[in-house]
Structure 1
Amino acid sequence: MHKEKVLIIKLGYSETLDGEIGKITSLGDVLRSTVLLPLYKDAQVTWLIDEISFPLLKGNPYIHRILSYDITSVLQLQSERFDTVINLEKVPGLCAFSDSLKAWRRYGFRFDPENGVALAYDGSQHVLEICMDPRHKKTTKKYWEEILFEMVGAKWQGEVCILGYKPKSPIRYDIGFNYDVGKKWPNKAWPMEYWKELERLIGNKYSISWQQGLKNIEDYFEWINSCHIIITNDSLGLHISNALNKKTIALYGPTLSSEIYIQYGTKLLPRVDYDCIPCLSPRCMQSKSCMNYIEPKMVYDAIENILK
């Protein structure tokens, strides 16, 4: 019996619902895209990645084959036949590569040979509109996962992303401080002095661990798994926490909180009347960032509500 062959192209060079294309791989966007995999649980799935993303997908039971994006993989895939190709990258070169593949069905983004830009297949045009028009993005009251499912003609039923790695660490800490936001979106960071103030507020009432695993992603998985609650900016750690079914307190300012589905936990937003929130920009134009208006006491109260 023929198993459906599916190719997913998601390297993280462009975020699915963001118009920006950069050189820093968005690991969070790659992990979030695994939410689609249960749709293809009976298929033979190949995933094309940037090599840095490999630990996020390694061991995933829904993925038959993981290929790094290089000339060898490109030539191999161009010689194969697929039933379905899902291209979640808006990089023009990747769109052109995706269009060159032999497939019966195509979802996501395609190449415009006249203008050399990314366009959308049927079902994904609204996603391209969300990417290119920040005002439209802010008024789209749908979860990211819901929109991704619509791109492939399916209905989201509350599925979450799937981490292939299976942590072995027991719960060691009540609370984990996931403070690092990486280089791509420095504007997402909660001020370090607020993290320290929160630590003072908590005192000896609960055990605290500051983020570990900054140099080794598998250590990072283990650290998140070792915490009962994760307090986090909008970052990769948030999505890993979700995948590991952790109680999560997510701190939002410049990015769109309504896009993010959190299984267990809560979202906290700035208490300030800035009309730019969310600005959807990696850098703040205000004299004082909106993230300064999520007071440590707000986070402490959220901890108490979860642990009471």
Structure 2
Amino acid sequence: MQTLSVPSALALSFPEAQIQWITRKDMAPLLRNHPHIHKVWEFDRKTGMLGLIKLVWKMRAENFTHIYDAHNNSRSRVIALILRPLGCLGIGPKFIRRSIRRWKRFLLFRFRINKFEQPFNGQRDLLEPLQKWGVSKTAPPAPQIYPSADVIEKARGILNDYVGAVSLAPSAAYFLKRWPKDYWKQLIALMPEQKFVLLGGPEDSFIEDIHAVAPERVMNLAGKTSLQVSSAVVGLSRVVISNDTGLLHVAEQLGKRTIALMGPAPFGFPSRPTTKIMELDLYCRPCSKHGQGPCVNKEKFHKCLVDITPAQVADQLRSILRDTL
């Protein structure tokens, strides 16, 4: 989701450029309707590496003049190799591959020596390599996600009188990136007049426990809507509170007022002034690149998120709600 600022940033520097994007099929809906993406190539992970090679071989006919590898992983390297087979000889499209700064990561996670630009900023780090082409590393303004009118209408129909509620994203890929489940319950209890919408995936069955705290004013949509509709739900929310997960970046790219609960990982950090980052300055943070652990705090397990209290988040939420009246 953070990469969705890249097309607009490119278009500002190259207004006549035709920008094409290759992404996973499950993420492709978020790219639709983007005014600066002219074509989306959808890779179905079920087809494996052979499917990827076949897809990229078709892309060769586009005769790209510039290629940006924003991810720098095994799949993106295969894509680059097929699209510029003579790249090692300096022949073919102009090319930039974003460095993942392995040496800096090694220093950070092994020796607690932080050589990364501060504060951490996910969108800035994705745009920075493009400065070689004259592209600014400042993220273009939101929105950078554009749900279609029919998707928005579908979300409105699902929400009904929950339009304008506060959306909560209690899940994350790794446990250590999750604010404790009981804290979400306490947050809801601390705000008895407020309606909430719970968002997550079909695997997030624990979210039903949060819903059970106040089912008369909490709607649980976890696993019940597509990524497109969930994004539209975020767009129809008054405020979003999220762990370090994909919905946080959806909220940012839609320009929503957001509270981000940031724990162990550094590389998905929010980028926009509409987001209030709640975090603790601890010797052990960050401890891993994706939050996969283990927790290394010797004083308290999961201290980086456990010590952000529901009362503190509720106070921040009340402040934002007052500002958005």
For normalisation by structure 2, the TM-score amounts to 0.71
* Coordinate RMSD, CA, aligned: 2.6
Shift of 1:243: 1.6
* Correspondence 1:1-308 to 2 at 5 A: 31-41=1-11, 42-69=16-43, 70-92=52-74, 94-102=76-84, 103-108=92-97, 124-125=98-99, 127-131=101-105, 133-134=107-108, 135=112, 139-142=116-119, 143-153=121-131, 154-160=135-141, 162-166=144-148, 167-168=152-153, 169=155, 172-181=163-172, 184-204=173-193, 206-211=194-199, 212-215=221-224, 216-256=226-266, 259-270=269-280, 274-280=282-288, 281-285=291-295, 286=297, 288-290=301-303, 291-308=305-322
Partner secondary structure for residue 44 of structure 1: coil
Q: Could you report, residue by residue, the CA deviation over 1:206-265 in whole angstroms, capped at 9, with x for unpaired residues?
A: 222222253421221132123201111111111111122211011111123894213314
Mapped to 2, the partners of 1:130 and 1:85 lie a distance apart of 25
Change (3 A) 1:36 1:131: farther
Amino acid in structure 1 at the alignment position of 2:20: T
1:294 is displaced (CA, Å) by 0.7
- Partners of 1:174 and 1:228 within 8 A in 2: yes
Deviations 1:15-58 (A, max 9, x none): xxxxxxxxxxxxxxxx1111111133331111111212111212
Distance, in Å, in 2 between the alignment partners of 1:54 and 1:227 is 23
* Distance in 2 separating the partners of 1:302 and 1:100: 49
Contact 2:5 2:123 in 1 (8 A): yes
> Contact conserved, 2:170 with 2:178, CA < 8 A, in 1?
yes
TM-score between the two structures when normalised by the length of structure 1:
0.74
Deviates more, 1:194-203 or 1:273-282: 273-282
In structure 1, runs of 5+ residues without a counterpart are 1-30, 109-123
Shift in alpha-carbon separation, 1:213–1:222, aligned structure 2, 3 A: farther
Number of residue pairs the alignment of both structures matches:
258
How far did 1:105 drift?
0.7
Q: Report the CA distance shift for 1:75/1:132 in structure 2 as closer, same or farther (over 3 A).
A: farther
Between Structure 1 and Structure 2, which shows a larger proportion of helix residues?
Answer: 2
SS of match in other structure, 2:140: coil
Q: Which runs of 5+ in 2 are unaligned?
A: 44-51, 85-91, 157-161, 200-220
Rounded Cα–Cα distance in structure 1 between residues aligned with 2:255 and 2:245: 16
Identity of aligned residues (%): 19
1:279 and 1:89 map into 2 onto residues whose CA distance is 21
TM-aligned CA distance change 1:274 to 1:36, over 3 Å: closer
Amino acid at match of 1:237: L
